Amino acid sequence: MSITTVPLRPIQKGTLTKLWIGVFVLLAAAAVFAWCSTARPIAMNGTSEDFLSWNGGRSGVVTTESGLQFEILEEGDGAGSPGPGAGVIVDYEGRLLDGTVFDAAEQQPITLDSVVPGWSEGIQQMSRGARYRFWLPPAIGYGENGRPGTPIGPDTVMVFDVELFEFISREELMQLQMQQMQQQGSLPEGMAPPGQ
């Protein structure tokens, strides 16, 4: 049996330093990855304020003075926006941060003075044909009491995806609703739509 010796070459100057720099860069990258992958779950499972603080820092999310946060999913035609007392026709889905859907409707006529303040404020940011996502803080939603009998608990952030089809005056919307009720046969007897 023979023994072969392998000559060891001396380590070049700076190689050990490069190795340690590489190790530190790798550790820093791992720390950043860990932070990024845990920031969302921490925000989702924390308080409403934790979530809204995290969400407001995301690209494309606008926060208004009242605390409403919205993101434009699809631009509208840009021809005006509904006013505070307007009637609107929308598709929407309302859900909690955990994804629980608590309300949804298609082609729903709604007056903006009959909804929570955050929802009304959000719709007034939109133009016809626009699709937005709203995050309503509790203060402009159902507040510290929530909405008993629904999944909306105290201090709950509500998320809405909304598409605005049309906005009209409150009176026009009321007339439209009365006509729909009459066609469905659910209009109380002796009551006629306005203007008839």
- Which CATH number covers residue 111? 3.10.50.40
Domain membership of residue 1 (yes or no) is no
The answer to whether position 157 is within a domain reads: yes
What's the confidence (pLDDT) of residue 193? 47
Q: Which residues contact 168 (CB under 8 A, 6 or more apart)?
A: 86, 87, 88, 89, 176
**39 or 183, higher pLDDT:** 183
**Domain for residue 189, yes or no?**
no
Considering the domain architecture, whether residues 36 and 107 belong to the same structural domain is answered as: no
Q: Which domain holds residue 39?
A: 15-45
Are 33 and 126 members of one domain? no
Grade residue 119 by pLDDT with cuts at 50, 70 and 90.
Answer: very high
Residue 105 lies in a domain: yes
My answer on whether 68 and 94 are in the same domain is yes
Q: What is the pLDDT of residue 44?
A: 60
3-state secondary structure of 42: helix
Entry pTM: 0.71
Residue spans of alpha helices (H) in 94-169: 117-123
Q: Is residue 7 part of a domain?
A: no
Tell me the per-residue pLDDT of 74-105, one tens digit each, with 9 for 90 and over.
Answer: 999 877 899 988 999 999 999 999 999 999 99
* Low-confidence winner among 39-43, 121-125, 129-133, 135-139 (lowest mean pLDDT): 39-43
158, with CB counted inside 10 A (0-12, 13-18, 19+), is buried
Greater pLDDT, 75 or 35:
75
Q: How many domains does the chain have?
A: 2
Instruction: Please write the tens of the pLDDT for every residue from 164-195.
Output: 999 988 888 888 878 877 887 765 555 554 44
Does residue 196 lie within any of the structural domains? Answer: no
Q: How far is CA 182 from CA 119, 172, 176, in A?
A: 28, 15, 10
pLDDT of the residue at 188:
57
